[in-house]
A and B are shown apart, each in its own frame.
Chain A
Amino acid sequence: MSRFADHLIVAPILLPLLAGAIMLVLGGECRRNVNAAINVVTSFSLLCVSLMLIRTVDVGPAGVTGVYRLGDWPAPFAIVLVVDRLAALMVLLTSLLATAAVVFSLARWHRVGVLFHPLFQFLLMGVNGAFLTGDLFNLFVFFEVLLAASYGLALHGSGAARVTAGMHYIVINLAASLLFLIGVSLIYGIAGTLNMADLAARIPAIRTEDRALFEAGASILGIAFLVKAGMWPLCFWLPATYAVAPPPVASMFAILTKVGAYIVLRLWLLLFRPEAAASTQFGADWLLWGGIATIVFGTIGVLASQDMARLAAYSVLVSSGTVLAAIGMGQPAITGAALFYLVSSTLGLSAFFLLVELVERGREPGADMIAVTRELYGEEGDVDDSTEVGIAVPVTMGFLGMAFIGCTLIISGLPPLSGFIAKFALLAAALGSPSAAISTATWTFLVVLILAGLAAVVSLTRAGIHAFWASPERTVPRVRLIELAPVILLLLLCGVQTIQAGPVMRYMQATAQSLHVPDDYIRGVLSPVNGRIDHRKGGA
């Protein structure tokens, strides 16, 4: 591995950090255009970096391909960054969403509050760091970075509804962070290490009398992540916060629930692998049934939602419940399908959050939640006329309608788009499980998954008819190209995922395989002869 490729691993953390710091130094709202330019450039370079990372990872062998030792200390003594297939995939997904969201925000949303661009970059830094780190406490730090940035972004634009929902969000996440600390310190007290790979290697040696305490620590840690992932009954904060967050922010928040799911996936499969003896697949039933309960709760919410932003927020719950339940089944084939579903549904939901604002813009003010955002633009007309950004799109309603149909297909899982392939793969993998008899839990999962799809079709169709056909008094919204383009881009990516389903699914299955047999990961992180230290010792 060349020196340049070595340092590529740390780039997804350093780039946003530098960009955010530069924006803060430049300072202030008078330089908003400069900040916007920096934000766009950084987001695009992050996209390039993550594409390069995923290419490096994909050609490499199954296990770890990149370990970056911060400060050049060997692994258990210092913090490492690890990039494997899963981490590279999640970083790529993040940068895709970020690019779309930042382009969308340029039309007007970055003007409704202060410091949008720096906070956005710090959010990216936290998310990428959480995906790349190989150390539990470092994970806590990156978690706090992304949470702190998300607090600011959730409140972007202010208003009573946002501040109240944001306050609930902050309090609950602070409490979850404290649980995270308790879990981490219990695990450290028992195992004596915080490096994830080292931890996995030490678990088989934990004494029987200490095992209960270790499992208690892991459960408390798990609760902190499940709050983030939005598992029922830890998810009541989520719909309110997501529904009132500014659209570009809400579309980035679609990845935040997946951060929780990602860490559950990574840590659970790493710590409770078959070698962990008595602790193998500890808590699988909790994940499975909790995930199913989340899907049910989300589905009820989807059916009950009157406005589209809430509908989108409840769809986030359905998506994260599906991923958690699929992880809980603990089989490589299902995990692979769940990863495919995760990518497809995150892209679809992110597009939907952006689309909702465009569609609702034409509705009468005061109709629903948009009233909250409407009152923020005191002199909206003046601002829009004087600082027209980009060109208006012709045949607006036609484009919006097509995009809406695309989102509906992806979220509900109807053919021909990627949502269908994802759900089909999940169902096929669950039915084709190696054990002869399919358990009650699997049948429940299958039924609930299909019913959730039906409920999504029902309520999205209802919302679509209400928005596009049944309101003759509405004015046609003015939508600019830079607002519609990100939505179309995200949907096109789902299209690409559909057409290239074979290669994408092969990548996901390889990822799932290496997650379920993490020996390569552990060996790669802990081996002293790897990467740069190796070169230097050879030279000396």
Chain B
Amino acid sequence: MEIVLALGIGVLAGSGVWLMLGPRTFQVIVGLSLLSYGVNLFIISMGRLGTGGAPILAEKTAGAASQFADSLPQALVLTAIVISFATTALLLVVLLAARGLTGTDHVDGREPEA
């Protein structure tokens, strides 16, 4: 499970960074989205990987910390998803405005002289 998750995060983050370094605004926004998926998975993994953990142990049962599911990273991821969704939507509007005002989808607002 660890190796699958680690590879997933690595591939997402790697392709996200690659796309973000591209010159076209659409590549940048897709790159940012991929990167944020990678980061969200990373946050989940920081709460330790495991399945079937209880959020709250039943009354009068002795339990070790390993039996818990850490709920805090899940709350963090939820917040991060909402925020990155909202900011991506905002960025999309700005990209469209920039395309309309400058007539090109290059991030500098003008085509490089070949």
Contact = CB atoms under 8 A, between A and B. Distances in A.
Contacts of A137: 76, 79
Interface in B52-94: 72-73, 76, 79-80, 83-84, 86-88, 90-91, 94
Contacts of B101: 158-160, 163-164
Residue in A147, A159, A163 whose Cβ sees the most chain B Cβ within 10 Å: A163
A328 to B, nearest CB: 28
* Chain A residues touching B, majority SS: helix
B98 interface: yes
Contacts of A185: 39, 42-43, 46, 73, 76
Contacts of A184: 76
A160 B109 contact: yes
A175 B19 CA distance: 12
B46 A186 contact: yes
Given A148-B86, A175-B20, A178-B35, A160 B79 contact: no
Contacts of B25: 167
Given A160-B101, A163-B101, A168 B90 contact: no
A168 B107 contact: yes
Interface residues of B, number: 32
A148 B43 contact: no
A184 B76 CA distance: 10
B94 A166 contact: yes
Given A185-B42, A185-B73, A171 B32 contact: yes
Contacts of A151: 87, 90, 94
A171 B46 contact: no
Nearest to A190: B46
A181 B39 contact: yes
Given A171-B28, A178-B39, A181-B43, A188 B72 contact: yes
A164 B98 contact: yes
Interface string B12-29: 000000001000010010
* Chain B residues touching A, majority SS: helix
B111 interface: no
A170 interface: yes
A196 B39 CA distance: 22
A236 B12 CA distance: 27
A252 interface: no
B83 A170 contact: no
A171 B91 contact: yes
Contact of B94 (A141, A163, A188, A189): A163
B74 to A, nearest CB: 12
A182 interface: yes
Nearest to B76: A137
A158 B28 contact: no
Nearest to A217: B46
Given A160-B101, A175-B32, A182-B39, A170 B90 contact: yes
B39 A174 contact: no
B83 A158 contact: no
Contacts of B84: 174, 177-178
A159 B102 CA distance: 9
A171 B19 CA distance: 13
Contacts of B98: 160, 163-164, 167
Interface string A130-147: 000000010011001001
B32 A148 contact: no
Nearest to B46: A189
A145 to B, nearest CB: 9
Contacts of B79: 137, 140-141
B107 A174 contact: no
A182 B101 CA distance: 35
A155 interface: yes
A181 B28 contact: no
A77 to B, nearest CB: 10
Given A171-B28, A175-B20, A181 B73 contact: no
20 contacts: A137-B76, A141-B83, A148-B86, A148-B90, A151-B94, A155-B94, A160-B98, A163-B101, A163-B102, A164-B98, A164-B101, A167-B95, A167-B98, A170-B87, A170-B91, A175-B20, A175-B32, A177-B83, A178-B32, A178-B35
Interface of A: 137, 140-141, 144, 147-148, 151, 155, 158-160, 163-164, 166-168, 170-171, 174-175, 177-178, 181-182, 184-186, 188-189, 194
Interface of B: 20, 25, 28, 32, 35-36, 39, 42-43, 46-47, 72-73, 76, 79-80, 83-84, 86-88, 90-91, 94-95, 97-98, 101-102, 107-109
Closest 6 CB pairs between A and B? Answer: A189-B46, A164-B109, A185-B46, A185-B43, A160-B101, A163-B98
Given A177-B87, A185-B46, 10 more contacts: A144-B87, A160-B109, A163-B102, A164-B102, A175-B32, A175-B35, A181-B39, A185-B76, A188-B47, A189-B46
